[in-house]
Copies of this chain bind each other. A is one copy, B any other.
């Protein structure tokens, strides 16, 4: 139950096997562990003390993998930061967790430097880049740290916090989810069992490592002693070429990626024979897409994970055998799957009573995957964590096979292009505009993104504003993916309940007629 130990073990057992590959960079387990020990020494040399937070602002790279393990090895807490965030959001996370060290890749170096010049209390910035790219003035260089003296593993583990993953919230304020070493090792063991991740398994990391969905897979592959293959982001041609060249066995996809894959003109001529499993989450796979994928990729199995950052992140999995349209296991592709090992999943009413199978209530989860809490937010923690049960805010029911169906998000959240967007955050940004009298943000169907962020707005009497104005206004405050893609202006009030609550279901209805809303 110590994440640095998983690296040491793989280095002991598989010293000369490939551990970490990105393009021409290829490290064996011995080399990877050696770099991590030196990087940890470098971080300690820069003042890192046990329990200190270290933030990372970067695209995926082999150095992102090293970042996590070097921080664990040095005894720190890794804080990966969403690269899509606007500057005030990044600043909030840095201030909130009190990170004194921020690491950035060349793409995000200017944004990192701007944070410091804007007054963020950063004692040290580090450039994570190739050796031949010089660091900015006052910065350290990752590759210099990698040449230093190796540190001893600090030996943190079990209930010690390993990572803070920041996640949006209904309050509009983002929260640092504290995941312990035990949380992440337990999730790794169940992932290894469910996905058959072993020594020798080649895993392609294409999901952002700043989300726990992508990040957690780094820990399972390291524990298994498999091979990490990293590409900076999803682009169809490098994706296919990397699978072919490295004989990739497993990767994470989202339905939009699979869709693009299916539409690729020369898919038949590519050698994807090494590929065994595609795992996905965030929402069920559209049946038509899954059917096509099963036909065109006959050797590939599919697996859906459902969960949330607070669950490290997996609570249920829809196993490959349920990804079928024939036989006794057919008919379950809309399910979020069955509880993973060690997960208690209960459906509860608002009074906390557990409901019988088939009845809809709040999905609650208990077990070793439940987070320690939100960083420095005991009240918010107590709201969602009660008697060991994580209250997900999702509405759902369970059938007689223990299969979970998520039917609604109790939390007002939109899933767009694999990102969670809390309506409250977007509404807060809109309300900051002087012309907005009233607004409501909802998810509407989008072939490209699953859902798209849409706003319904009432303008103050005597004022004038265009949709372009409002979107521009939002972009200065929140990440681009959170900003409305479309805005509809209302005359008069938005529809409301007797208690004065805006009736979002009514606003959503015309958009979702004849369509099944994709919920995660």
Q: Which residues of A contact B (CB under 8 A)?
A: 1-2, 5-6, 8-9, 12-13, 15, 158, 182, 185-186, 189-190, 192-193, 223, 338-339, 341-344, 367-368, 400-402
Q: Are A344 and B192 in contact (CB under 8 A)?
A: no
How far, in angstroms, from A94 to B169 measured CA to CA in the complex? 54
How far, in angstroms, from A15 to B357 measured CA to CA in the complex? 13
A193: chain B residues at CB < 8 Å are 189, 192-193
* Contacting residue for A190 out of B12, B15, B182, B189, CB 8 A: B189
A12: chain B residues at CB < 8 Å are 338-339, 402
Not counting A9-B402, A189-B193, A192-B193, a sample of 6 additional A-B residue pairs whose C-beta atoms are within 8 angstroms of each other reads A1-B186, A2-B342, A5-B342, A13-B401, A189-B189, A223-B342
Q: Which single residue of chain B is at the shortest CB-CB distance from A8?
A: B344
Q: Which single residue of chain B is at the shortest CB-CB distance from A225?
A: B341
* Contacting residue for A185 out of B342, B344, B401, CB 8 A: B342
| Cross-chain pairs A/B with CB under 8 angstroms, 23 sampled | A1-B186, A2-B367, A5-B342, A5-B344, A5-B367, A6-B341, A6-B342, A9-B341, A9-B342, A9-B402, A12-B339, A13-B338, A13-B339, A15-B400, A158-B368, A182-B368, A185-B342, A189-B189, A189-B190, A189-B193, A192-B193, A223-B341, A223-B342
A339: chain B residues at CB < 8 Å are 9, 12-13
* Contacting residue for A343 out of B9, B185, B342, CB 8 A: B9
Q: How many copies does the complex hold?
A: 2
Which of A1, A2, A12, A223 has the largest count of B CB atoms less than 10 A from its CB?
A: A12
A344: chain B residues at CB < 8 Å are 5, 8-9
Q: Which single residue of chain B is at the shortest CB-CB distance from A357?
A: B12
How far, in angstroms, from A348 to B192 measured CA to CA in the complex? 31
A182: chain B residues at CB < 8 Å are 368
CB distance from A197 to the nearest CB of B (A): 9
Q: Are A402 and B13 in contact (CB under 8 A)?
A: yes
How far, in angstroms, from A13 to B400 measured CA to CA in the complex? 8
How far, in angstroms, from A5 to B9 measured CA to CA in the complex? 30
Q: Which single residue of chain B is at the shortest CB-CB distance from A153?
A: B344
Q: Which single residue of chain B is at the shortest CB-CB distance from A158?
A: B368
A5: chain B residues at CB < 8 Å are 342, 344, 367
* Contacting residue for A368 out of B1, B223, B342, CB 8 A: B1
How far, in angstroms, from A402 to B6 measured CA to CA in the complex? 14
Q: Which single residue of chain B is at the shortest CB-CB distance from A400?
A: B15
Q: Which single residue of chain B is at the shortest CB-CB distance from A398?
A: B12
How far, in angstroms, from A192 to B343 measured CA to CA in the complex? 16
CB distance from A153 to the nearest CB of B (A): 9
Which of A1, A8, A186, A341 has the largest count of B CB atoms less than 10 A from its CB?
A: A341
A6: chain B residues at CB < 8 Å are 341-342
* Contacting residue for A189 out of B13, B341, B343, CB 8 A: B341
The 7 closest A-B pairs by CB, nearest first: A12-B402, A13-B402, A189-B189, A1-B368, A13-B338, A5-B344, A9-B339
A402: chain B residues at CB < 8 Å are 9, 12-13
How far, in angstroms, from A402 to B342 measured CA to CA in the complex? 30
CB distance from A318 to the nearest CB of B (A): 12
Q: Are B342 and A1 in contact (CB under 8 A)?
A: yes
A13: chain B residues at CB < 8 Å are 338-339, 401-402
How far, in angstroms, from A344 to B185 measured CA to CA in the complex? 15
CB distance from A352 to the nearest CB of B (A): 15
Q: Are A367 and B189 in contact (CB under 8 A)?
A: no
Q: Which single residue of chain B is at the shortest CB-CB distance from A387?
A: B155
Q: Are B190 and A367 in contact (CB under 8 A)?
A: no
How far, in angstroms, from A401 to B30 measured CA to CA in the complex? 12
A185: chain B residues at CB < 8 Å are 342
How far, in angstroms, from A343 to B13 measured CA to CA in the complex? 12
How far, in angstroms, from A6 to B182 measured CA to CA in the complex? 18
How far, in angstroms, from A5 to B366 measured CA to CA in the complex? 10
How far, in angstroms, from A342 to B186 measured CA to CA in the complex? 10
A2: chain B residues at CB < 8 Å are 342, 367
CB distance from A459 to the nearest CB of B (A): 40
A15: chain B residues at CB < 8 Å are 400
CB distance from A72 to the nearest CB of B (A): 14
CB distance from A185 to the nearest CB of B (A): 7
How far, in angstroms, from A373 to B284 measured CA to CA in the complex? 46
How far, in angstroms, from A179 to B344 measured CA to CA in the complex? 22
How far, in angstroms, from A445 to B344 measured CA to CA in the complex? 50
A192: chain B residues at CB < 8 Å are 193
A401: chain B residues at CB < 8 Å are 13
How far, in angstroms, from A9 to B337 measured CA to CA in the complex? 13
A1: chain B residues at CB < 8 Å are 186, 342, 367-368
A368: chain B residues at CB < 8 Å are 1, 158, 182
How far, in angstroms, from A367 to B9 measured CA to CA in the complex? 12
CB distance from A270 to the nearest CB of B (A): 31
